[in-house]
Amino acid sequence: MIAEFQAYCRTLTLLSDEEIERITAFAVPRTLPRGEHLLQQGQVCRHKTFIIKGLLRNYGTAADGTEYILQFSSAHQWILDPESYHLQSASKFKIAAIERTDVLQWPKAEFDTLLNEMPALNTYSQQLVSRINYTGRQRLFTTLSGTPEEKYDDFVINNPDLLSRVPLHMIAAYLGMSLKTLTRIRHAQLHR
């Protein structure tokens, strides 16, 4: 796991080999079986987590018990509950493994130390947060404006790798529609 993370850092950041060594020295590997929670609602998100392999969903439950998925995260993505992590407050949302998932984790105090020490890590971290911001705005706009058909098409175009890995009811929970509606759309597309 460590070697894969180091290769990622060498390719996608301006961190030096010494800095990458120091960052990985703090990393704690963990494997989540399918279905296990990385974060439960009400828990405090105490780690920054980098996914080596696998697939997680970040989701919440509405008052009527229905689940809605904010985000799918797979290999070479970071995942955390930003509000709970930054404020060290109870999380409103949950994170769980859809597949068996290998991650590296950094406790917040250690990661904050690394951020203070390394301007290149700080820059990289800010770029990631900005990118999350853009994609979040685009997702909000699609959610507000799209017809169910447009939302599904958009999902297929932007997440071709997830189609075969995510159960249909979770795709429906991500798109904010019922499984029945999603099944109808897919059926209509097959007969186009």
Strands (E), 80-165: 94-97, 101-107
157 binds its own copies (CB under 8 A): no
Among 10, 34, 37, 137, binds its own copies (CB under 8 A): 137
CA-to-CA distance for 184 and 164, rounded, in angstroms? 18
| Residue 162 makes contact with its own copies by CB under 8 A | no
Rounded Cα gap, residues 66 and 177, in angstroms = 11
Residue 50 DSSP SS3: strand
CA–CA dist 38, 87 (Å, integer): 18
Count of chain residues binding its own copies (CB under 8 A):
29
What interhelical angle do 148-158 and 179-190 show, nearest 10? 70
* Interaction mask 40-59, its own copies, x per CB under 8 A: --------------------
Q: Which of 133, 158, 183, 189 binds its own copies (CB under 8 A)?
A: 133
* Closer residue to its own copies, CB minimum distance, 7 or 129: 129
Among the listed residues 29, 82, 107, 167, the single contact to its own copies using CB under 8 A:
82
